[in-house]
Amino acid sequence: MAERTLNYIRVLKKYSALHEAGITNAISVPNGATLNSNNLDYLDACIDYFEDKDKIILACDSDEAGQALQAELVRRLGSEVCFLASFDDCKDANEYLQKYGKEKLSERISGARPVPLENVTTFRDIEDEVTDFVRNGFKPGFQVGLENFDDIFSTYTGQFITVTGIPSSGKSDFVDQMVVGYNANYGWKTAFASPENQPTYLHAHKLMRKHWQGMPTAADIDGDRWNQVADHCNSNYYHIDMERYTLDSVLRKGAELVKRKGIKCLVIDPFNKVRDVGGSDDVNKYTMEYLAKIEIFAKKYDVLVFIVAHPTKMYKTQDGKIEEPTMYNIKGGGEWYDASYHGILVHRDYEQKTVKAKVLKVKFQNLGENGAEAHFKWEPQSGCFIPHQQIVVDSMPWE
């Protein structure tokens, strides 16, 4: 309660500082800014208010949390209408008012600069990123919270991951595990366009079990834990249900969910059931155009996209086992490997009763290890993947 009161006082001071400088058409976020967990439920409720605005000035704190909030507001409100005010060597508007006076503060707001032009970058636009890279090197990628998998794979947003594997290998379930992990670690919300994950209530039940860490029973319904987990799933996972899925309609809905709900992940599962209507009849060109649309969407809205893709053919080895597919086994072959930022194979070993996730491609070497594998046991009650230590037995005969 004391922390909430302190935050309220801080917000009030910033709001009052702008009014003292003669800027009365100002509103403030109600709960300040925090790293990795900006709660923008208040924006969900009033997003329509901003639809007809031509200019929105963002005057966020200059600290890391304030800049993270600024980036999220730009993402949600649209870079084309956002202008950015800065406070030079001061943390916020109130500190600037105290140091330089109301006239200078007014000039700071009126001199807010537009968000850098799309598709045009100058050094000053990215100077902070260049400086950070010089000082600290590559930024660490985002991880799902499975220790053995995190050792071999991570990612950034604004990218897309191709996930493949033979039927019933656990592709969709592993993608669910990944987005649940991103949600637990970073609070990311996810939208699913999953024609094969029907009926929707069964998919919702799978996600609930992963959060529950077990199988809820009829006796749990309407209990405190049930309501807590149900509310969490309701606020963090959105199922796109359409009579006819097309890529353009899914991406439009994804953009709407970015603005209204703040999603950070979009799952297309599988890609062949979400068609690019009007795409080329040439399979390679069709694939490149399809993935280009995905990339544009991911970059524009800073979203991580998962594309689940089945291989076209399956081959057996001499001992009768099904060979592990690669990205070249997906229809469109080499285009998938060339265009994807990352590729992951999910493959089930029915004899060992294990599942492995293998990195087929990672575009940036600081984010993972090509060819590396992580092995899991699948726990049937929760539907969770439990890291499993793979034991390699030396097959050479003893002398």
* pLDDT the model gives residue 31: 65
* pLDDT the model gives residue 29: 80
Query: Angle at Cα 247 formed by Cα 54 and Cα 303, nearest 5°?
Result: 55
Domain that holds residue 315: 147-387
More confident residue, 213 or 10: 213
129 and 227, same structural domain? Answer: no
333 and 309, same structural domain? Answer: yes
161 and 15, same structural domain? Answer: no
118 and 161, same structural domain? Answer: no
Backbone angle region of 303, left / alpha / beta, with phi > 0 → left and psi within -120 to 50 → alpha: beta
| Range with the poorest average pLDDT among 1-15, 96-110, 192-206, 312-326 | 1-15
More confident residue, 155 or 37: 155
pLDDT at 356 over 70: yes
Residue ending a domain, among 135, 163, 185, is 135
pLDDT at 348 over 80: yes
17 part of a folded domain: yes
pLDDT tens readout for residues 64-98: 888 888 888 888 888 888 898 888 778 888 888 88
173 and 95, same structural domain? Answer: no
* pLDDT the model gives residue 54: 87
33 and 98, same structural domain? Answer: yes
pLDDT at 44 over 90: no
* pLDDT the model gives residue 90: 83
Distances (CA, A) of 117 to 122, 192, 285, 288, 296: 10, 31, 29, 26, 15
pLDDT at 11 over 50: no
* pLDDT the model gives residue 399: 32
Distances (CA, A) of 55 to 23, 42, 74, 115, 397: 15, 20, 12, 11, 75
| pLDDT classification of 1: cutoffs 50, 70, 90 | very low
* pLDDT the model gives residue 68: 83
* pLDDT the model gives residue 321: 74
306 part of a folded domain: yes
Query: What percent of the chain lies above the pLDDT cut of 70?
Result: 90
371 part of a folded domain: yes
Summarize the confidence of residues 209-235 as an average pLDDT: 94
276 and 211, same structural domain? Answer: yes
| Range with the poorest average pLDDT among 79-83, 214-218, 224-228 | 79-83
366 part of a folded domain: yes
Max mean pLDDT range (90-99, 256-265, 388-397): 256-265
Distances (CA, A) of 314 to 179, 320, 322: 28, 12, 7
pLDDT at 281 over 90: no
Identify the CATH number of the domain in which residue 215 sits.
3.40.50.300
**Amino acid letter, 13:** K
| pTM: predicted TM-score of the whole model, two decimal places | 0.73
pLDDT at 396 over 70: no
The token pair at 180 is 């649940």
Identify the CATH number of the domain in which residue 129 sits.
3.40.1360
* pLDDT the model gives residue 4: 46
pLDDT tens readout for residues 308-336: 999 987 767 777 677 888 898 888 778 89
Give the containing element (helix H, strand E) for 162: strand 160-164
* pLDDT the model gives residue 214: 93
Max mean pLDDT range (1-5, 19-23, 179-183, 362-366): 179-183
Residue ending a domain, among 101, 135, 169, is 135
| pLDDT classification of 5: cutoffs 50, 70, 90 | very low
Distance from CA of residue 329 to its chain's centroid? Answer: 27
More confident residue, 19 or 342: 342
Rounded to whole angstroms, the Cα distance separating 190 from 343 reads 19
393 part of a folded domain: no
pLDDT at 48 over 90: no
Q: Using CB atoms within 10 A of its CB, is residue 202 exposed (0-12), middle (13-18) or buried (19+)? A: exposed
128 part of a folded domain: yes
Residue ending a domain, among 72, 105, 135, is 135
38 and 171, same structural domain? Answer: no
* pLDDT the model gives residue 390: 54
The Cβ of residue 59 has, within 10 Å, a number of other Cβ atoms equal to: 24
Number of domains in the chain: 2
307 and 175, same structural domain? Answer: yes
Query: What percent of the chain lies above the pLDDT cut of 90?
Result: 48
238 part of a folded domain: yes
pLDDT at 112 over 90: no
6 and 72, same structural domain? Answer: yes
184 and 106, same structural domain? Answer: no
* pLDDT the model gives residue 52: 85
pLDDT tens readout for residues 24-41: 888 878 766 665 666 677
160 and 103, same structural domain? Answer: no
398 part of a folded domain: no
